[in-house]
Amino acid sequence: MSPNSPVPAPSSRPRRTVWLLLSVPLVLMGLGLWWGSGQAGSDEDLNASSASEAGSSSASARGSRASGVAGAPIAAPVRTPAVAATPALSSEEAERQAQRELWEKRLQRARFTLDTYVAGTRYPPQSRPMREHPDQDQPAAPERTRSLSRDRDDVKLKLKQDKVFVAGDEVVHFAVGCENTAKQPLPCQVTGAMAREAEHMLGGEAAVAGVPLAFVDDGTQGDTLAGDGTYTASFQPSKQGFPMFSGTLRIAFQVSSGNAQGNAFFDILYTPAPPARFTGKVREAVEQGSLSLYLGLQVRKAGRYVMAGRVDDEAGVPFAYVSFNEELAEGAQEVKFTLFGKLLLDEAPTFPLKLRDVEGFLLKETGDPDRELLTALRGYIHTTREHPTTAFSSNEWQSEERTRHIDEFTKDVNEAQKQLDSIAGVQRP
């Protein structure tokens, strides 16, 4: 067809219409595919977004639980700062440090020694709190329990004596009983009791015949209660075979309980003729800020006498342990017990005070035994008057010996401090 050819005949329009009708389904199919694809992508994005939000919420909840507060942010991990390495000490620095540690320990020990000595000597030796001498609160009256024999631990033997030190015409009582491991009484018998000179007193010589003693459970001879299973014996050496003996006496016996048997003994230290006697007179005086108690004594033998007494407060509570250790001449003398002023102020006992259980002996320079006993004063023997606290001094006890020791211990403290200052380069005036 040339350019100058006329327009095609109308017969071609129906063909274009057919092509148009055929393209409509294709367009609709393409739109459907596009729409489906877009919807799927939206669902995936939505699901991903939901999953992300859920994960974030879960992590937040875990973080909140961990932090203890709902909705609290997750704490960031703590980073430990790096520790710088300690530079090695030179030999000179190491030596200086070693010396410093050495003198620090010496200073601590020196201060402890000084402080302990000062505190322990603020009262004189002859006037001390009873709490320092709990074993001296009562005169010696031992009580002990042991197995009846090595083969029978199920039977226990109870032994008690009311005195260890006996003088003149004093009487001592012994008690023996048996019990099982549950401390229930068991029947027992005491046989073959004999009092004789202790073996160590014989000096290789043959033992003299002993004096028999009887243990009874009938309420006599010092027995407290008849038929209670405790057997008691009383012994008065001056009247039972030992009027001139001085030294240790042993009371040995056999005990049986059922088919169990064993041996036991008691010891006492005896003086037949006391070297001095208490007159029973006591006077008191406030002297140099302390309370002094003077006990009358008639001395038969001159020498060094050692005495001791106990002091209770008004309610009978043990307060002080007092002692005396001095030379005394023959004749009428006085034993001075001192209740130190500072002790009275520090302990503040309730007045009046009561002196009790005074005992003593003459110390012998040679021989065995090393002492001659006085007849003790048992129970309360003197009650003091009321005294105001203003009558007593708060000063610590002083003596030449105490001052000398304090000076020496102070020198040790000062020397240790001086060495430490020298190491640290400190100059003190």
Delimit the domains of the chain by residue range: 139-271, 276-391
Residue 375 CA: distances (Å) to CA of 272, 278, 354:
10, 8, 20
Helix, strand or coil for residue 129? strand
Instruction: Output the pTM of the full model.
Output: 0.75
Q: Shortest CA distance to 282 belongs to which of 295, 269, 264, 268?
A: 295
User: What fold does the segment set 139-271 form as a domain?
Assistant: Immunoglobulin-like (2.60.40)
Lowest mean pLDDT segment, chosen from 4-13, 161-170, 228-237 = 4-13
Report pLDDT digits (tens) over 98-133: 999 999 999 999 999 999 999 999 999 999 999 999
β-pairing verdict for 260-271 and 165-167: parallel
Average pLDDT for 202-215: 79
Sequence letter at residue 173: H
Report pLDDT digits (tens) over 369-395: 999 999 999 999 999 999 999 999 999
Q: How many CA atoms lie within 13 A of 105 on its CB side?
A: 5
Lowest mean pLDDT segment, chosen from 88-92, 200-204, 234-238, 271-275 = 200-204
User: What fold does the segment set 276-391 form as a domain?
Assistant: Immunoglobulin-like (2.60.40)
Q: How confident is the model at residue 311 (pLDDT cuts 50, 70, 90)?
A: very high
Q: Taking all residues of the chain, what is their mean pLDDT, rounded to a whole number?
A: 85
- Per-residue pLDDT at 67 exceeds 60: no
User: Can 139-271 and 276-391 be said to share one CATH topology?
Assistant: yes
CB count within 10 Å of CB 176 equals 23
Report pLDDT digits (tens) over 337-366: 999 999 999 999 999 999 999 999 999 999
CB count within 10 Å of CB 327 equals 9
Average pLDDT for 256-271: 95
